[in-house]
Amino acid sequence: MTKKVALVTGAAVGIGRAIALRLARDGIAIGVMDLNQAACATVAQEIKDAGGEAIALAGDIARRDTIQSAAAELRAAFGPINILVNNAGITGFVPFLELTDAQWDRMLEVNLKGAFIVTQTILPDMIAQGWGRIVNISSSSAQSGAVNMAHYSSAKGGIIALTKTLAQEFGPAGITANNIPPRFVMNTAMSEDSFKHLGQASRDAMTQNGPIRRQGEPEDIAGAAAWLVSDEAGYVTGQTIGVNGGRYI
């Protein structure tokens, strides 16, 4: 392995953007991928303006053809991929008894099958290099459960199980797989949307309930991801690394 090359999904905004910027600071070339390539271009430019390497990629994690094209573009730009951050995701609030098959299927298609598709596309690069890092962004809702989020929390629980399985299956090939389950990370489109459903009281409680009395920021997740993809974390695999102000210990 001569060069570190990462694909970060859902990297146009929020947590994914923060991870892309953070990894780039460590000298990693970044494929900034999202549904909207134009939005990714802004992040890629931010990275380049700061002296890093990045390319904007269009890709829908639920559509294998788009992921294969994006991966090919990233390889052509920087060489084989050896770091994957499965961050892209959607959310939703529906009472369990009202959940439709279509809502259930769509949530699992993006939040669980999407990670399967992207990981299966990128893993052969890592195996060929004998080195790889996979970081999956799950959710504390998979640890705690979450009212009106059965489809979301189930998909994210699947991500934790997928992570452990990848760790076992590909550890012998020099590849680690870990997941970070955020709780509420503020200042992202997803958390703003969630608080429309949960209300201001819930928002205030988020900062007060727990040992660290502040809200989570995208950069908190990015810092943990940067360590997990580093050489120093080579003996850490299959783990769920809570970055949540100590709320789930």
Report the residue from 182, 222, 237, 244 that binds ligand NAD according to the rule CB under 6 A.
Answer: 182
Element (H, E) at 135: strand 132-137
Closest chain position to ligand NAD (CB)? 14
Q: Strands of 83-86's sheet, edge to edge?
A: 54-58, 29-34, 5-9, 83-86, 132-137, 175-180
Closest alpha carbon to 86 in 110, 64, 66, 70: 110
Report the residue from 179, 191, 240, 244 that binds ligand NAD according to the rule CB under 6 A.
Answer: 191
Q: Which is nearer to ligand NAD, 1 or 39 (CB)?
A: 39
Give min distance, CB of 69 to ligand NAD, in A: 13
CA distance 29 to 53: 5
Give min distance, CB of 73 to ligand NAD, in A: 15
**DSSP code of residue 176:** E
Write the CB contacts of 60 (distance below 8 Å, at least 6 apart in sequence).
35, 66, 67
Report the residue from 7, 13, 84, 229 that binds ligand NAD according to the rule CB under 6 A.
Answer: 13
DSSP reduced 3-state for 8? strand
Report the residue from 62, 149, 229, 243 that binds ligand NAD according to the rule CB under 6 A.
Answer: 62
DSSP reduced 3-state for 236? coil
248 an active-site residue? no
Q: Which is nearer to ligand NAD, 44 or 129 (CB)?
A: 44
Site membership for ligand NAD, residue 88 (CB under 6 A): yes
Sort strands 83-86 and 132-137 into parallel, antiparallel or unpaired: parallel
Q: Which is nearer to ligand NAD, 129 or 244 (CB)?
A: 244
Among the listed residues 152, 182, 190, 244, the single catalytic one is: 152
Report the residue from 121, 179, 188, 244 that binds ligand NAD according to the rule CB under 6 A.
Answer: 188
Question: Which residues belong to the active site?
Answer: 152
